Structure 1
Amino acid sequence: MVEYAKYVDVTKCDGCRACMVSCKNWNDLPAEPQDFLGSNQSHAKVTANTWNVLSFIEHENSKGNLEYLFRHSACFHCKEAACVKVCPEEALHYTDFGTVVINDEKCVGCGYCVQNCPFDVVSLATYKDKHGKEYKKAQKCTMCTDRLEEGMQPACVTVCHTGAMEFGEKDKMIQKAEKRLAEIKGKFPNANIYNPAGVGGTHAIYVLAEKPSVYGLPENPKVPTSAVIWKDYAQPIGKMMLGATTMAVIGAYISNKIFYKEDHGHDENGGGSNE
């Protein structure tokens, strides 16, 4: 099966935010008024209603000069996605394009995908039913899979006027990234290709001018061990013995215990930090 990927060259981005606007328009996402962040950045991070954010990073380069770095921030669509592995309802799944999408009818808003995503790109959106009762559903970038199915490109790619983004066969996108890396190494000695192996590689391949951490990205993201054990070992065996519904309940209970223990542990050590 042919794999596809979005290629993002941050060195060509000029921060115009056209990708953000096109994402909002195509996916019919509501506006989210934000407090002033003290910079040109409109949103601190992606949210349930803003799946694509243009990040502005103030950075002191190797020559001691202050410069702005830009990064198109959205879901990476990991080949081995933690969100898919931890979902007790199997609401998250892979498509033929390698993208990761959410089945709204199956999602129960448990939030395990949110807590396990190494890139912090999944969020819970709040809705109200006809009786006014609130409920939650996980939401994130879909890489415009609905457009891909019609032979079109992702909305963000189509509006990028600098050519910083492309979409195509993954092998070709990696080759393009490698060629571009060779071209910019003289100007950006720390330049690298971001396609982390710890999540099996991603379907959003980045050419970064600096180390991933400069852009707020994890250097070596990995699928949590607990998620691997649950999805690849415990769940298949349990389904054979107990049935899928029972295993979903057990999975929710186990995940809740794990997350409670982690949060409790953070509190005992002076509290954890949130981005």
Structure 2
Amino acid sequence: MPEYVKYVDVTKCDGCRACMVACKNWNDLPAEETNFLGSVQSHPKVTADTWNVLQYIEHENSKGDLDYLFRHSSCFHCKDAACEKVCPENAISYTEFGTVVIDQEKCVGCGYCVQNCPFDVISLKTYIDKNGKEYKKSHKCTMCTDRIEEGLQPACVTTCHTGAMEFGNKDEMIKKAEKRVTEIKERYPNAMVYNPQGVGGTHTVYVLAEKPSVYGLPENPKVPTSAVLWKDYAQPIGKMMIGATTMAVVGAFVTNKLFNKEGKEHDEDGGGGNE
């Protein structure tokens, strides 16, 4: 089964927000009350009920001119996803298409995925059960995996009237992105393909007009070392070689010391300091 990629060319986006409406409609996501931001942008960031957001950025370019930049913001669907590695319930997994999805039946709302996502695109939603007790679940963009399974494209892609988004074979989309960058370099000297390899590459690949930081994106996002050690080494070895009680103690240590914000910052800075 070939991997698929959502290709996003920010230089073609006109900020219409049709992608946001399509996502809300297809996924039956409720409307949210938000504060007026004073611009085209309706939400500060993605949330548990708004899985993609149209970002609006005013930027002074290298020539001293003012550029109005847009970016369709949603889950990147990393090939090596930190959220999948830190989930203690194996509620997050990869599909055959390369998308990263959350099994709501398994999710316990611990929030480790929220804390460790380098792009800050996962959110917790609070629910109330029939007994009045609160519980939480993690939510994010699924890249419309249910549509892909039926041979359809993601809802956001189908509604984009400027051709800023396409969906197709991974290699073809990456080649398209690279070609587009060469075409716009004269106008946008800092143009680049954003497909960070620190997370194994992503299944949402961008053509950016400026450096990632201009869009609020990390320049070189990586999976935290603590997450790699836990998922790829400690957890499987623990299951094979030590008892359940000892594994629980090890798990508690890791979650308390490594999967919190302080542990994440310590790991990224190499021992003291700080998308």
Bin the TM-score by the shorter chain. over 0.9
- Whether the 8 Å contact between 1:89 and 1:248 is mirrored in structure 2 is no
Superposed counterparts of 1:174-193, under 5 Å: 174-193=174-193
CA shift, 1:245, in A, is 9.0
Letter in 2 for 1:206: Y
TM-score if structure 1 supplies the norm length?
0.93
Match of 2:64 in 1: 64
CA distance in 2, matches of 1:25, 1:242: 48
Match of 1:27 in 2: 27
* Runs of at least 4 residues off by over 6 Å: 243-246
- Whether the 8 Å contact between 1:108 and 1:137 is mirrored in structure 2 is yes
CA distance in 1, matches of 2:249, 2:86: 13
Percent sequence identity is: 79
CA shift, 1:250, in A, is 4.0
Match of 1:107 in 2: 107
After superposition, what is the alpha-carbon deviation per residue over 1:207-249, rounded to whole angstroms, capped at 9, x for unaligned?
0000000000000000000000111111110011246797467
Between 159-168 and 241-250, report the one with greater CA deviation: 241-250
CA distance in 1, matches of 2:252, 2:70: 38
- Whether the 8 Å contact between 1:88 and 1:248 is mirrored in structure 2 is no
Match of 1:237 in 2: 237
- Whether the 8 Å contact between 2:230 and 2:254 is mirrored in structure 1 is no
CA distance in 2, matches of 1:142, 1:26: 11
The residue matched to 2:258 in structure 1 has which SS?
helix
Unaligned runs of 5+ in 1: 267-271
CA shift, 1:187, in A, is 0.8
Match of 2:117 in 1: 117
- Whether the 8 Å contact between 1:90 and 1:106 is mirrored in structure 2 is yes
Q: 1:190 to 1:254 in 2, by over 3 A?
A: same
CA shift, 1:251, in A, is 2.5
The residue matched to 1:135 in structure 2 has which SS?
strand
Letter in 1 for 2:12: K
CA distance in 2, matches of 1:125, 1:223: 24
Match of 1:87 in 2: 87
Match of 1:269 in 2: none
Match of 2:227 in 1: 227
After superposition, what is the alpha-carbon deviation per residue over 1:92-136, rounded to whole angstroms, capped at 9, x for unaligned?
000000000000111000000000000000110111111121100
CA shift, 1:65, in A, is 1.5
Superposed counterparts of 1:192-231, under 5 Å: 192-231=192-231
Question: Over the residues paired in the alignment, what is the CA RMSD in angstroms?
Answer: 2.1
After superposition, what is the alpha-carbon deviation per residue over 1:182-228, rounded to whole angstroms, capped at 9, x for unaligned?
11111111000000000000000100000000000000000000000
The residue matched to 1:11 in structure 2 has which SS?
helix
The residue matched to 2:127 in structure 1 has which SS?
strand
CA distance in 1, matches of 2:64, 2:260: 44
CA distance in 2, matches of 1:21, 1:215: 22
Q: 1:260 to 1:228 in 2, by over 3 A?
A: closer
CA distance in 2, matches of 1:139, 1:37: 24
Q: 1:18 to 1:247 in 2, by over 3 A?
A: farther
Q: 1:66 to 1:248 in 2, by over 3 A?
A: farther
The residue matched to 1:32 in structure 2 has which SS?
coil
CA distance in 1, matches of 2:244, 2:155: 37
- Whether the 8 Å contact between 2:115 and 2:261 is mirrored in structure 1 is no
- Whether the 8 Å contact between 1:199 and 1:221 is mirrored in structure 2 is yes
TM-score if structure 2 supplies the norm length?
0.93
- Whether the 8 Å contact between 2:226 and 2:259 is mirrored in structure 1 is no
CA distance in 2, matches of 1:142, 1:34: 23
Match of 2:158 in 1: 158
CA shift, 1:257, in A, is 2.7
Between 73-82 and 254-263, report the one with greater CA deviation: 254-263
